[in-house]
A = this chain, B = another copy of it.
Amino acid sequence: MTAFDDLMAFQRDTEALGQVAMRLSWDQETVMPRGAAQQRADEIGAIESVLHSRRTDPRIGQWLAAIDEHGLGTVGRTQLRHVRRSYSRATRLPDMLAAEIARVTSRAQGIWAEARASDDVAHFLPTLREVIRLKREEAAALADGGDPYDALLDDYEPGATAEGIAAIFDRMRPRLVALRERIMGAGRPVPGLTGRFPAEGQMSIAREVATHFGYDWRHGRLDHSVHPFTSGSGADVRITTRIDEAHPLGCLYSTLHEVGHGTYEQGVDPAYLLTPLGNGVSMGVHESQSRIYENQFGRGRAFCLWLFGRMQEVFGTAGAADADAFYAAVNRVHSGYIRTESDEVHYNLHIMLRFDLERELIAGRLEAEDLEEAWNERFQADFGVPVDKPSNGVLQDVHWSAGLFGYFPTYALGNVYAGCLHVALRADLPDLDADLARGHAEPATAWLREHVHRHGGLYEPAEIIERACGVAPDEGPLLDYLDAKFGALYRL
């Protein structure tokens, strides 16, 4: 055994234990008896502690020092790059600080939930202040002299910088605000769907669509959870969805979203399984897959017309007068407060607001006390309406209480990547709408597997998009797509 083999064998067990931790979380959200929460926290704590020890194990440093990279091919060198990045991050963060962040954010989520339920920002403020203080400290430790926000971002989108993202967002924002204003000013309000849609019928369509979009049931399953998610890599990638009998689109589009994440993980080259390359490469690229399935495929006209017919067959009604009304309802642009319920036009505005605010927070140019006011001002400017209550504003997301600073921009980056991939994919698959018009998208999944999924962590995020599309990713294709789609829908 060479040092490289030793390192990869060690890493393999670490990756396997990481999968185990994901199985526990899946179990917790889907099938766990409700009285088991406290014990489960202990179980997850024990495995996280094992993972932390392994990720900071000094033997990793010794192996890395002993390996002669010249003997390795591209894949081997990329494996090493991943291990080196992860080891360097893990060892830069003092154990005491990591433990304190874990403790404080675990407590913070309960306090945030209380504050949101009672619309009481003051109740959350002392905790938020503490979380921000710790995350600034973490960012400084990780940055090692570089930009602190970039150091946090690097955990979710390796290689990206806040400056690069800000340049994209700064170009997107005026066009999105303008599109939003034109739509809202067009005076063509679109009604939502009406009726009740029994859960079994929703799940039956969700399963059918997952199958026809290329989700592999031999290596996955679909369950219910309060918040939909995808869990696991390689040969066991499970997705969940939610059910509301009055709002059938939630189940279906959550499923499509998770099918995007799930087919990505299922499609990684099996040779990378349980190695640092064996997962989707970043949150942004992951989100590009979930969003292209959900939006560009699932909310496109061709698929919506099929779905209208299928819902009529299953439920006796699709909840709209005709197929055009149904397509409009699926793509209804509405001035809501809540990010997770927002449409394709508003979604990125939500993200940009959070990105700008959290950058200021980490940089120390904004304090927790002033966050609500900053949020409300920005919301009024971009969305054209005032925030009515904190639970519809600064208290709506779990991320900051969980310490997830640097995560938000990857959502919009995913949309930008999806815009680029969609253009490239349509050029290669001119007949895709014919598939979508019968509820299928296997050719698109095959294209994405070939150009994105199978590579796992082999290329950096921006590199993988550039290789797939032939040009470096930028916001143009996404904005053109939105202008065209909503221009036609709202006859602008």
Task: Pick the residue among B39, B218, B221, B273 that contacts A274 (CB under 8 A).
Answer: B39
Complex contact A35–B221 (CB within 8 A): no
Complex contact B33–A46 (CB within 8 A): no
Give A220 to B221 CA distance when docked, in angstroms: 22
Cβ of A315 < 8 Å from any Cβ of B? Answer: no
Contact with B along A220-256 (1 / 0, CB 8 A): 1100000000000011101000000000000000000
Task: Pick the residue among B16, B40, B217, B236 that contacts A45 (CB under 8 A).
Answer: B16
Cβ of A196 < 8 Å from any Cβ of B? Answer: no
Query: Interface stretch among A18-26, A108-116, A119-127?
Result: A18-26
Please name all residues of chain B whose beta carbon is closer than 8 Å to the beta carbon of A42 when the two chains form the complex: 12, 16, 274
Which of the four size classes fits the interface of chain A? Answer: 35 or more
Contact with B along A1-36 (1 / 0, CB 8 A): 000000000001110110110011001000111111
Considering only CB atoms, which chain B residue lies closest to A38 in the complex? B235
Q: A23-B24, A43-B16 are in contact. Are A219 and B33 (CB under 8 A)?
A: yes
Please name all residues of chain B whose beta carbon is closer than 8 Å to the beta carbon of A24 when the two chains form the complex: 20, 23
Give A20 to B42 CA distance when docked, in angstroms: 10
Considering only CB atoms, which chain B residue lies closest to A221 in the complex? B33
Complex contact A235–B39 (CB within 8 A): yes
Q: Report A411 CB to chain B, min CB distance, Å.
A: 28
Complex contact A31–B32 (CB within 8 A): no
Q: Report A191 CB to chain B, min CB distance, Å.
A: 40
Cβ of A99 < 8 Å from any Cβ of B? Answer: no
Task: Pick the residue among B13, B38, B47, B221 that contacts A17 (CB under 8 A).
Answer: B47
Complex contact B274–A234 (CB within 8 A): no
Complex contact A47–B20 (CB within 8 A): yes
Cβ of A398 < 8 Å from any Cβ of B? Answer: no
Cβ of A199 < 8 Å from any Cβ of B? Answer: no
Cβ of A50 < 8 Å from any Cβ of B? Answer: yes
Give A47 to B14 CA distance when docked, in angstroms: 10
Q: Report A36 CB to chain B, min CB distance, Å.
A: 4
Q: How many copies does the complex hold?
A: 2
Cβ of A49 < 8 Å from any Cβ of B? Answer: yes
Please name all residues of chain B whose beta carbon is closer than 8 Å to the beta carbon of A19 when the two chains form the complex: 39, 43
Give A139 to B459 CA distance when docked, in angstroms: 52
Query: Which residues 28-77 of A have a CB within 8 angstroms of B?
Result: 31-36, 38-40, 42-43, 45-47, 49-50
Please name all residues of chain B whose beta carbon is closer than 8 Å to the beta carbon of A216 when the two chains form the complex: 35
Complex contact B218–A39 (CB within 8 A): no
Q: A13-B49, A16-B46, A23-B27 are in contact. Are A32 and B236 (CB under 8 A)?
A: yes
Q: Report A86 CB to chain B, min CB distance, Å.
A: 17
Q: A40-B236, A235-B36, A236-B40 are in contact. Are A221 and B46 (CB under 8 A)?
A: no
Q: Report A333 CB to chain B, min CB distance, Å.
A: 38
Give A241 to B222 CA distance when docked, in angstroms: 22
Task: Pick the residue among B14, B35, B49, B236 that contacts A33 (CB under 8 A).
Answer: B236
Considering only CB atoms, which chain B residue lies closest to A236 in the complex? B36
Q: Report A240 CB to chain B, min CB distance, Å.
A: 12
Query: Which residues 262-299 of A have a CB within 8 angstroms of B?
Result: 273-274
Complex contact A35–B274 (CB within 8 A): no
Task: Pick the residue among B27, B35, B50, B273 that contacts A219 (CB under 8 A).
Answer: B35
Task: Pick the residue among B33, B46, B220 that contacts A217 (CB under 8 A).
Answer: B33
Q: A13-B49, A16-B45, A27-B27 are in contact. Are A33 and B218 (CB under 8 A)?
A: yes
Please name all residues of chain B whose beta carbon is closer than 8 Å to the beta carbon of A236 when the two chains form the complex: 32-33, 35-36, 39-40
Q: Report A10 CB to chain B, min CB distance, Å.
A: 11
Give A219 to B39 CA distance when docked, in angstroms: 10
Considering only CB atoms, which chain B residue lies closest to A238 in the complex? B33
Give A40 to B17 CA distance when docked, in angstroms: 11
Q: Report A272 CB to chain B, min CB distance, Å.
A: 12
Complex contact B39–A273 (CB within 8 A): yes
Kindly list 16 other residue pairs between chains A and B, CB separation below 8 angstroms, not including A13-B45, A13-B46, A36-B236: A12-B42, A13-B49, A16-B42, A16-B43, A16-B45, A17-B43, A19-B39, A31-B221, A33-B218, A33-B220, A35-B216, A35-B219, A35-B236, A36-B235, A40-B235, A42-B274
Question: Which A-B residue pairs are the 5 nearest by beta carbons?
Answer: A35-B218, A16-B46, A36-B236, A39-B235, A13-B46
24 pairs from A and B in contact (CB 8 Å cutoff): A12-B42, A13-B45, A13-B46, A13-B49, A14-B46, A16-B39, A17-B43, A17-B46, A17-B47, A20-B20, A20-B46, A31-B31, A33-B217, A33-B219, A33-B221, A33-B235, A34-B218, A35-B218, A35-B235, A35-B236, A36-B219, A39-B234, A39-B236, A42-B274
